[in-house]
Amino acid sequence: MSMSNNNNNNNNSFGMLNLQRRGLFIQTEDTPNPESIKFLPGREVLSSSLEDVEGGGESVGTGFYAVHSDREEIARSPLAKRLFQIEGCKSVYFGADFVTVTK
């Protein structure tokens, strides 16, 4: 094996070591509704510029609320879209720093 070939193999192996892993610690809280759970990711969920967007779901206070039948609104939010793919998810509520899911 030539020296340049060894260098290529070493570079590829080294490149694999540089892969970054992403992680997120999410806390949960109970809610008064036993069918709901509140997720607290410790970071912004709904930016203030999106909270009251006209036509972007039902704005409730300073959040965003959608039910399973709100297809157009759900399509505008990748997170809502993924959550509604979970069997039994009936509604989601996004606040500035939390997500509440109701089954």
Asked whether residue 61 carries a pLDDT value surpassing 90, the answer given is: no
Domains recognised in the chain with CATH numbers? 22-102 (3.30.1370.70)
> Exposed (0-12), middle (13-18) or buried (19+): which is 13, by Cβ within 10 Å?
exposed
Asked whether residue 84 carries a pLDDT value surpassing 90, the answer given is: yes
Average pLDDT over residues 66-88: 94
Q: Round to whole Å and give the CA distance between 89 and 27.
A: 19
Asked whether residue 39 carries a pLDDT value surpassing 80, the answer given is: yes
Q: What's residue 55's pLDDT?
A: 47
Average pLDDT over residues 24-37: 94
Q: Round to whole Å and give the CA distance between 48 and 96.
A: 7
Q: Which residues pair with 97 in a beta bridge?
A: none
Q: Would the pTM count as exceeding 0.75?
A: no
Asked whether residue 73 carries a pLDDT value surpassing 70, the answer given is: yes
